[in-house]
Amino acid sequence: MKCIVTGGAGFIGSHVVDRLLKEGCEVTVLDNYSTGRPDNLAHHSSSGKLRLVKADIRDLKSIRPHFEGVERVFHLAALADIVPSIVNPISYYESNVLGTMYVLEAARSAGVKKLVYAASSSCYGIPDKYPTPETAEIRPQYPYALTKYLGEQTVLHWGQVYKLPVVALRLFNVYGTRSRTSGTYGAVFGVFLAQKLNGKPFTVVGDGTQTRDFTYVTDVADAFFTASASDAAGEVFNVGSGGTYSVNKLVGLLGGDKVYIPKRPGEPDCTFADTSRIGARLGWRPKVTIEQGVANVLANIEYWRQAPVWTPENIGEATRDWFKYLGDMK
């Protein structure tokens, strides 16, 4: 079976590639390496079933030929992070909405049998209900969340109008080996990893009692494969860990000193996925506990040894940018 993984050199994408190769698939990775790293796939260098193509999903003409003969597409290429999306919303729209449409068009013209889209739980904003079901009100708080949701809606629309079998997976707080630690505005797990590697204290936002649905990356890759092999079409599923854990608990598992920085407005106090739909419909359930997941990351920590350093100072820059944005909007 031939597959394409857009963003396949990235954190989650490379784990999806791992799973597909394990299943015996032939895999083409399309990645422009803006955040992905070829090193994430170096352990497959001797595989005759993996092909790496440097390409940008915003260029339909260049990506279209690679879809010929492909059965399944896993669309993970996107721009991430909150504050950069506020600073440069046009780039996010071009990548996360128009880029998604171009992937859909390439898949449609090639007669692809299933496309699975990496949607984002950020579409829920600050929800009223925990655990949060797929039927919760959509409340994107910033352009990243909005463009990922618009991408999701584009995927579902192409499925409805053009009968392209599509599934969207709303991912919750993914962490694990190969997670990104570059940039000033990354996810909490990547920030903490960089700080641990460089002997810095963990910068905890607020009092650290806020909780997150930390979901291990191999469970997420399993969800992608399970959805692609199913008869589901035109459906949306949450993908989470089955629990929600405080930032303080994560710090305790990682081990180290911590300092506190001001809470950023617009961030939820909790993320917690209701995964009953994907469990009932696809039989998928998470397997990796947070204790197991963090232990696995620590066992492979040398992978991140060259990561950039986050400090209380540059994390503070992100916080100041956020407050400045809110002030400008008044």
pLDDT digit string, tens, across residues 286-315:
999 999 999 999 998 766 665 444 444 444
Distance CA 120, CA 126 (A): 13
125 phi and psi, to 5 degrees?
A: 60, -125
Quick: pLDDT tens for 168-178: 999 999 999 99
Looking at the DSSP assignment, which residues form a beta bridge with residue 170? 119, 238
**Confidence at 198, pLDDT banded by 50, 70, 90:** confident
Q: What's the pLDDT at 183?
A: 53
Task: Look at residue 219 and tell me whether its pLDDT is greater than 90.
Answer: yes
String of DSSP letters for 175-229: E-TT----SSS--HHHHHHHHHHTTPPEEEETTS--EE--EEHHHHHHHHHHHHH
Least Cα distance to 226 among 179, 178, 189, 275 occurs for 275
Q: Are 190 and 231 in contact (CB under 8 A)?
A: no
pLDDT at 319 over 80: no
What sign does the dihedral 147-152-155-156 (CA atoms) show? Answer: negative
> What is residue 259's predicted lDDT score, i.e. its pLDDT?
95
Contact 75, 115 (CB under 8 A): yes
For the cut 90, the answer to whether the pLDDT of residue 255 exceeds it is yes
Residue 91 pLDDT exceeds 60 = yes
For the chain, what are the domain ranges?
Answer: 2-172+216-239, 175-212+242-272+288-329
- Are the CB atoms for 38 and 178 separated by under 8 Å? no
Handedness of CA 134, 272, 309, 181 (dihedral sign): negative
Q: Does domain 175-212+242-272+288-329 have CATH number 3.40.50.970?
A: no
The tokens describing 311, both together, are 């400090």
Is 144 known to be catalytic? Answer: yes
pLDDT at 187 over 80: no
CA 151 to chain centre: 14
Residue 242 burial (C-beta neighbours within 10 Å; 0-12, 13-18, 19+) = middle
CATH code: domain 2-172+216-239 is 3.40.50.720
Q: Give the pLDDT mean for 181-185.
A: 57
- Report d(CA 186, CA 50) in Å as an integer: 29
Q: Which residue among the candidates 144, 185, 216, 245 is catalytic per the annotation?
A: 144
